[in-house]
Chain A
């Protein structure tokens, strides 16, 4: 067992340089030919937030307390999820030129794309905390608990990214299906509405949506200053294990097959 851990560690070190270069490449390519460059990673979610707040407070007259932070929790989590998974989908196909020529682990490409999404998320998270401060919400020690949903979300994104990128090699249709799916998921994640008025059963059904769980966790801590129950934590962990397990299984099973399909 110790040997195995050692060899995994040695392999990780061996690929560290490649991994860094891949992350750099993904970054450079993303902001190529944009005037504002990285500023867009903060600007675009903020503009999105502005639009949503405007539309739902002015036109629909929402009166939920701390409504802007309520929406921000939703868009913060959801944009990280959709950025990481949508970007992750094409990582195997997009790097076919590399892994058909050099023997490198294929998950490196996905991880590098996820690092990029994570850095974006980190930037927005800082802005989020600034907004929270301006909104007059108190910062409590409970904010430290946010590390749990963030950690879970990172792993969840990697798992879903693995599943998608493997499927994408075999069926390119996935990208269109997934676009529709993420739209549906967005509406089902209660980003701009509350589910308090729904029946008990409907509210339970929302718990089946992993993205909703992450959003709910953020709102509980930031707006309500309460820590979710242990069951809530376990439910999130279960989602992560399922996604990551399925993703690893697919990568392992098709590792030598991808070559034939690209």
Chain B
């Protein structure tokens, strides 16, 4: 039994006039028939499975549907079609530095984030020092969170999330934060977690990182699944596609057996 199974998932995303318009505008536009809500498929027929200890890299240009897919895996969104089954708990790190409260202190934020990730108070009490040490924020514990630099915020977020041994860990552009030294440290930590048996999903714009860390790769483009499989082959093709030496169709042909 796979630890994570994403079966033929399609997600329809709503966009259009409904955002940021007030009641008056809504009524006016309804009356003048100028009210448009468009739907588009952020993801279409995406399927993959993930086993223990595997690390899946998701690549694709901006707007390919990566983040939306991750939200479905994390359970924040529900797939419009298809289904996702998870065996075990999911820890999702999406857009790291957001979701913190600027008015609270580092310590309070750490506890709040820990609670959001489903940790217990006991666990937080035990690992709090370790988290702060890992994030190198010992001197900032009682400072308001908004005084921290964005690098520090991401370091804290990473440190908290990496404390637990989740069955499924989702990382969205996580490793691209922090300076060189912290990057090394976080990569080492990542490898430790994967070795501990977690299944990990990584979204990164750094292709070299994906090549180095991931055991398989899912390539999305405009919500469509181009391929899912071997890291080296897919990264190579993706690089060629980015360099515009091949088109998407040629890449597909290359992949066809």
| CB–CB B76/A102 < 8 A | yes
Question: Are A171 and B22 touching (Cβ within 8 A)?
Answer: yes
A25→B104 contact, CB < 8 A: yes
Give complex CA distance A173, B26 in Å.
11
Does any Cβ of B come within 8 Å of A66's Cβ? no
Please give, as numbers and ranges, the residues of chain B lying within 8 Å of A97 by CB-CB distance.
Answer: 98-100
Q: B120 in the interface, Cβ–Cβ < 8 Å? A: yes
The answer to whether residues A32 and B103 also contact, given A18-B115, A18-B116, A104-B116 and a CB cut-off of 8 A, is: yes
- Give the interface segment out of A48-56, A139-147, A254-262: A254-262
CA distance A104 to B111 in the complex (A): 16
The proximity string for B residues 85-100 relative to A, scoring 1 for CB distances below 8 Å and 0 otherwise, is 0000010101100111
User: In residues 143-157 of chain B, which contact A (Cβ within 8 Å)?
Assistant: none
Question: At the interface, yes or no: B108 with Cβ under 8 Å from chain A?
Answer: yes
For the complex, give the distance between the alpha carbons of A185 and B104 in Å: 36
14 new A-B contacts at CB < 8 Å, known A101-B99, A171-B23, A260-B19: A17-B114, A17-B115, A18-B118, A22-B115, A25-B104, A28-B108, A29-B103, A97-B99, A98-B116, A102-B116, A173-B22, A173-B23, A256-B77, A260-B18
Q: Which residues of B contact A14 (CB under 8 A)?
A: 118
Q: How many residues of B contact A (CB 8 A)?
A: 37
Q: How far is the CA of A174 from the CA of B22 in the complex (A)?
A: 9
B23 → chain A closest CB, angstroms: 4
B99–A98 touching, CB < 8 Å: yes
Let me know if B76 and A17 touch, CB within 8 A. no
Query: With an 8 A cutoff between CB atoms, is A6 at the interface?
Result: no
In the complex, the chain A residue whose C-beta lies closest to that of B117 is A102
Q: Closest residue to A19 on the B side, CB-wise?
A: B115
In the complex, what distance in Å separates the CA atom of A199 from the CA atom of B74? 60
15 A–B pairs (Cβ distance < 8 Å), ordered by A: A17-B114, A17-B115, A17-B119, A17-B121, A18-B116, A21-B112, A25-B104, A29-B101, A97-B98, A97-B100, A100-B94, A101-B92, A101-B95, A103-B75, A259-B76
Contact A261 B22 (CB under 8 A): no
How far apart are the CA atoms of A20 and B22 in the complex, in Å?
34
By a beta-carbon cutoff of 8 Å, the part of chain A in contact with chain B is 14, 17-18, 20-22, 24-25, 28-29, 32, 97-104, 170-174, 256-257, 259-261
What is the bound-complex CA distance between A259 and B15, given in angstroms? 11
Are A103 and B74 in contact, CB atoms less than 8 angstroms apart?
A: yes
**Residues A21 and B74 in contact in the complex (CB < 8 Å), given A101-B99, A171-B22, A173-B22:** no
Asked if B14 CB lies within 8 Å of chain A CBs, one says: yes
CB of B90 to closest CB in A, whole Å: 8
Q: Which residue of the partner chain B has the closest CB to A259?
A: B77
B77→A21 contact, CB < 8 A: no
Q: How far is the CB of B254 from chain A (nearest CB, A)?
A: 36
Q: Residues 144-182 of chain B: 1 if any A CB is under 8 Å from the residue's CB, otherwise 0?
A: 000000000000000000000000000000000000000
Taking CB as reference atom, which chain A residue is nearest B78? Answer: A256
Across the interface, which residues of B come within 8 angstroms of A21, CB to CB? 108, 111-112, 115
Within 8 A of A (CB), among B1-55: 13-15, 18-19, 22-24, 26
Closest 3 CB pairs of A and B: A18-B115, A103-B75, A173-B23
- B14 contacts across to A, CB distance below 8 A: 257, 260
Which residues of A lie under 8 Å from residue B13 when comparing CB positions?
Answer: 260
B contact residues around A101 at 8 Å (CB)? 76, 92, 94-95, 98-99
CA gap between A172 and B20 in the complex, in Å: 8
Q: Which residues of A contact B111 (CB under 8 A)?
A: 21
**Shortest distance from the beta carbon of A122 to any chain B beta carbon, whole Å:** 24
Smallest Cβ distance from A13 to chain B, in angstroms?
Answer: 10
A24 touches B108 (CB 8 A): yes
* Most chain B beta carbons < 10 A, residue from A24, A103, A172, A256: A103
**Residue of B with least CB distance to A102:** B116
User: What are the residues of chain B within 8 A of A32 when measuring CB–CB?
Assistant: 103
Collect the chain A residues with CB atoms within 8 Å of residue B90's CB.
103
Q: How far is the CB of B19 from chain A (nearest CB, A)?
A: 6
Which residue of A has the minimal Cβ distance to B115? A18
